[in-house]
Structures are given as structure tokens and as C-alpha cells.
Amino acid sequence: MLFSSLIFIMVFLPVVFFGSRILRKNKYVNIFLLLASLFFYAWGEPVYVFLMLASIIVNYFAGLSLDRYRSHSRLILTLDIIFNLGLLGFFKYASFGTVVLVEYLHVQMEPLAISLPIGISFFTFQIMSYIIDLYRGKFPVQKNIINLALYISFFPQLIAGPIVRYEDINEQLENRTVTIEKSTEGIRRFILGLGKKVIIANTVAEACDRIYYSDVSLLSAFPVWIASILYTLQIYYDFSGYSDMAIGLGKMFGFEFLENFNYPYMSKSITEFWRRWHISLGTWFREYLYIPLGGNRKGKVRSYVNLMIVFFLTGFWHGAGFTFIFWGLYHGFFRVIERLGFSRILEKCKPLAWIYTFFVVNLGWVFFRVGGLKNAFIMVSKMFNPSLPNYYTLGELMSHRCMLAAGAGIIGWGIIQLLPEKVPAVKKLISNPVLQYIWCAVIFITCVMLLASNTYNPFIYFRF
């Protein structure tokens, strides 16, 4: 069930929201939200909901064992991590592993075809953060299995994040209040995220996919550059829109989730980009991998190696394929280059720093989007070969609606947000609650009309 679907907006969400308001007491609301979350997950994955339940039960008892048998805590932690990574590895990477064995090592076997449980990467990382931080003694063990199960399966962040750490939400599981102001802000945030997804991401996705699925022999530098920019817009507005919707939904039920995006395309280095993009994932890898590996405490060379390990796994986390691995190492390479001293050069010329960062990020998305390294390199080679004949005009590649959506996306990725800081009159205007309500109503009605007309509605991060 997509957030950007009429069944969710018109049926599921109102029933769950008003049902939770009727129950009022958090212990009853938690049971209700847990059942609603399991139903939400089972809507698209009826079989794999049992996998999630099994994971919840195993990790619940692992937590109790950590608390009770402190002398064996390291062994318990190790076994639990093996269990969690084993599940993730089997369902997400086993098929890829057998393809590698057959195609590259010529092993005689049938490649496995295992369907990927939706959101397994996200809820596995949440479970592991709970167990690891419990081992570190950051909080007491959660003895209420309902509360732990709700933390793991809560539907707003279940499918595509943000990755919520238990220490950021444990108090809210039992002690939270839902006010009219918080619910109103949650609805507003949800609508803005919905608008990002439906009005911008979906619109540019249709044109982007049309180019990438066209005859490669007919593509030249112009359409490939257009496709790369459109995908740069699509993935940001798709994923940040989902995060906005998740944060808004959390507020509607009294929860506060941390921000997951902070205008990443305004970054002036790749280091800054990763402080602004998918913040919850970057925080997870820093806290549970980079720092335990030694971080930058064991010398420069070791810190560079640690960075490359982190970005290798960041790419691999996104998908079982060489393009994702390359994309991760590609970003890791530029992080290392910046640490070697290039960042000091970037600080001297901010416009050049922004151009460099956007160029690197945009080029990286080509590898992220195109299936297969060979095809990705073909696309990139076309981007830098202006001598190829161009068979397309801009009007043939993009509809007028797509052009408007792309223009709005470029302005909205951080440029227009600078106006209130520079022009006080603009800040006063946009803070007017009446205008905000009108703006949200226009966005919501537009989204419902587009969804009702069966507008193209993909969701990139569901496959991660």
C-alpha cells in the first residue's frame, strides 16, 4: 500500500487516525497501531509479515537475554547480529550471489529467484540499532513486546524509512501526547510530502523512464543529460517526499521523527552532501560501522580505508548489484579526495564548489539508475560525446507539464527556501496560516486528481 495511493489516503489513514483518537490511552493505541501496521505491511506482503513477526520475537528475547545474562552479552549480541544480517543477506543478496557464481565463476547451478520483502533493509537496521545500543547500555531493555513490535513495524517509517533509532523514540512509545497543533502540523507535512511525490517525482519519472527505456543507439548527449537531471529530481522528490510523509504521519500519532533530508542539492562538497542526504542512513553507518572500525582515530590511511568500507556497504545496502557497489565506491572516492585536501580548494570558491558537487552527484545517479555497469558506462560515454547526432527535441523528450514540474523541482530543492532569510516580507507572507491552509488544500486536491486519473506512480525506495 503506497502512501501516494487513494486507498491509503481515503480509507486506511482516516480509519487508523480516528481509531487511535477514540482509544486515547497509549497502551491501547499502541496495540491498535501495531495491528494496523501489520495489516499495512500484509497488504502488499501477506507472507512476509510472518517473517517480520519472527524477527520481532527473536530480537525481543535477544534483548531480554542481553539484560539478564550480562556475562554472555557479547556472544548474545554476535548471534543476534548474525541472525539479522543472515535474514537480510538471504532475502536481498542470495539471488545476486548465485548469479555471480553462474555468470562469472561458471558454477553449474540454477540461479535463485527470491522475492525481496518490502522494506527489509530499513526494519533490519532499526532492529540492529536497538540491540547494539542495548548492549552498549544506552537504555533499559524493552520488556513490553507490543511496544518493541510497534517500534519495529510502525507503518509511517516501515517501508522506506527514515531509519529511527530506538533511543530517539523509546520515551514516546509510552509517554506521548497528540495535540491539535501537532496533528495539524503533521497533516501539513504529509500533504507537502505527497505533493513532492505525486506532482514532481511522478511527473518527471515518466519522461525519465521513457528516455532510459528507449533505443540506446538513438541516444546522444542531449537526451542522456536530460534523463540524468530528471532522475536527479525524481529520486530526491520521491525519497524526501516519502520521508516528509513519514514524519508528518508520525506527528499525527504523537511521534517525533528526526529529519532525513536537508536540501542536499545545495551542498558544496560530497562530504556536505552526505550530511544532508538520507541523514538517518548516514548516521546509522557512522554510529554502528565507521566509529567501531576506528573512525579517524587510527591515522589518516586507516580513516580512508574505513570510509571506503562504509561507502562500499552503503552502495551494497541500496541494492544487490555491481552498479550500486560502484555508486557507493564512487562517492567514497570523492570523500577521500576531499579529505586529502580538495575540500580546502572548494572552500575558496563556493559557486565552483556547488557546480562540482552537483556534477558528481548527478553523474553518480546515472550508475544508480541504469541496470548493469556496461550500460551505465555507455550512457556516461554518450554524455561526454557531443559529436553524436541528436534525434530528439526538448519537446519530444518532455511534456509541458514535465517542464513545469522540473522547473518547480529545481527551484524547490533549496533555492526558493533562501528567500525568507533574505526578504523579511516573504517570510511574513509564507508564515500566514490562512495562506498555508490554502496552499495545502491546492496541493492535496491536485494530488487526488492526479492519482484518480491513474497517473504514473512508481516508488523508488520500496525496492531497497
Question: pLDDT tens across 40-86, in order?
Answer: 999 877 888 999 999 999 999 999 999 999 889 999 999 999 999 99
* 400 included as an active-site residue: no
Could you tell me if 205 and 159 lie in one domain?
A: no
In a domain, 452, yes or no: yes
Residue-wise pLDDT for 340-361, tens only, equals 988 899 988 889 999 999 999 9
- For the cut 80, the answer to whether the pLDDT of residue 456 exceeds it is no
In a domain, 1, yes or no: no
For residue 81, the enclosing domain spans 6-175
Could you tell me if 335 and 290 lie in one domain?
A: yes
Q: Taking the model in full, what pTM does it have?
A: 0.91
Compute the distance between CA of residue 4 and CA of residue 159 in angstroms, rounded to an integer.
13
Residue 381 CB coordination number (10 Å) = 12
Could you tell me if 84 and 214 lie in one domain?
A: no
The pLDDT, as a whole number, for residue 87 is 92
Could you tell me if 223 and 335 lie in one domain?
A: yes
- For the cut 70, the answer to whether the pLDDT of residue 237 exceeds it is yes
Could you tell me if 88 and 230 lie in one domain?
A: no
The cell for 227 is: 534523463
Q: Are 79 and 135 in contact (CB under 8 A)?
A: no
Q: Name the domain count of the chain.
A: 2
Could you tell me if 159 and 187 lie in one domain?
A: no
Which of these is catalytic: 106, 318, 331, 400? 318
- For the cut 90, the answer to whether the pLDDT of residue 124 exceeds it is yes
Could you tell me if 416 and 272 lie in one domain?
A: yes
The cell for 458 is: 512508481
Could you tell me if 389 and 253 lie in one domain?
A: yes
Q: Last residue of some domain: 139, 155, 175?
A: 175
Indicate the length of the chain as a whole number.
464
Q: Are 120 and 160 in contact (CB under 8 A)?
A: no
